[in-house]
Amino acid sequence: MTAQNDKQTLLDELNEPFAVSNEAIESYRQRGYVKLKNVLSPDVLDYYGNIISDLVIQLNTLTKPMEERTTYERAFLQIMNLWRENDEVQEFVFSRRLAQIAADLMGVDGVRLYHDQALYKEPSGGITPWHADQFYWPLASPKTVTVWIPLQGTPMNMGPLAFAEGSQHVEIGRDIEISDDSEKILSEALQRQNFPMNDTPFELGEVSFHAGWTFHRAGPNVSDRPRKVMTMIYMDRDQVVMPPRNSYQTADWATWLDNAPVGSAPASALNPVLFER
């Protein structure tokens, strides 16, 4: 088999449909997240993971010693919109398979890309505090979802993502940025309201999808290897921009939504439709 045929096999996998069971869809809608096994093959993760990792190293600007970093900086190296930097990363980010799963889980006819981000938790990297992603997004509808794709198997000592089941339905903590305070306040509030936490490891090829208002966190990476993760944030194709409610949303409006007019769909080249029925 030629290298070109090998590459085509990987592209075919990224764009072929994936059967999402009714049980997975119901679980996502009740619990605010779902973990799905064997979504991507080891070959796809190895090929594109190496390219993503090289780009993270190239683009990373956070070089302070770990002990000099803030809690947020210790949590991970964060590089965004890699799809605009490399054509092969774009192939991965634009995966029709992953976008189709997002559409099935949200129950929508199409999804747009909000942005991608690589999240690399270095050895000795700290916790990722409790937070909800949509605090940062000036988007009117809760029909948003993040796919979290570990580029290696992720045991507990590497800090896999953990979810507070059903927390997307409550209003607590929706005005709190990710921080030491969010870890303390949300941990206490979620325990007080008896939200179960799922903090199980990820097998190679297993990915999770979580809703924008689902509270989640990750433990520290106490292994001797980086925890390499690629994520894409999807939104309903018919999502609407709302007036920003905080400074972070104002920044996101400009950076990821190209200042699309309030009340309109974010339809610029930054937010392509990746799947439609």
In single-letter form, the type of residue at position 102 comes to A
| 270 found inside a domain | no
Q: How far apart are CA 116 and CA 79, in angstroms?
A: 8
Domain count, the chain: 1
pLDDT, tens digit, 9 for 90 and up, residues 44-74: 999 999 999 999 999 988 777 877 787 767 7
Q: How far apart are CA 236 and CA 9, in angstroms?
A: 29
| 232 found inside a domain | yes
Q: What is the CATH number of the domain that holds 60?
A: 2.60.120.620
| 275 found inside a domain | no
Beta bridge partners of 115: 233
pLDDT, tens digit, 9 for 90 and up, residues 209-228: 999 999 999 999 999 999 99
pLDDT of the residue at 3 = 62
Nearest Cα to Cα of residue 146 among 216, 43, 77: 216
pLDDT, tens digit, 9 for 90 and up, residues 120-151: 999 988 999 999 999 999 999 999 999 999 99
In the block, tokens 């779902």 appear at: 34
Mean pLDDT of 149-169: 96
Query: Which alpha helices (H) appear in 107-237, and where do they start and end?
Result: 180-192
8 Å CB contact between 106 and 145 = yes
pTM score, two decimals? 0.93
Mean pLDDT of 138-167: 97
| 272 found inside a domain | no
| 172 found inside a domain | yes
Which residue range forms the structural domain that includes residue 47?
27-257
8 Å CB contact between 117 and 79 = yes
Q: Please say if the pLDDT value at position 1 is more than 50.
A: no
CB atoms within 10 A of CB 196: 11
| 56 found inside a domain | yes
| 5 found inside a domain | no
8 Å CB contact between 154 and 52 = no
Q: How far apart are CA 158 and CA 220, in angstroms?
A: 7
| 277 found inside a domain | no
8 Å CB contact between 120 and 77 = yes
In order of 7, 211, 221, 228, the CA distances from 208 in angstroms are 25, 10, 19, 14
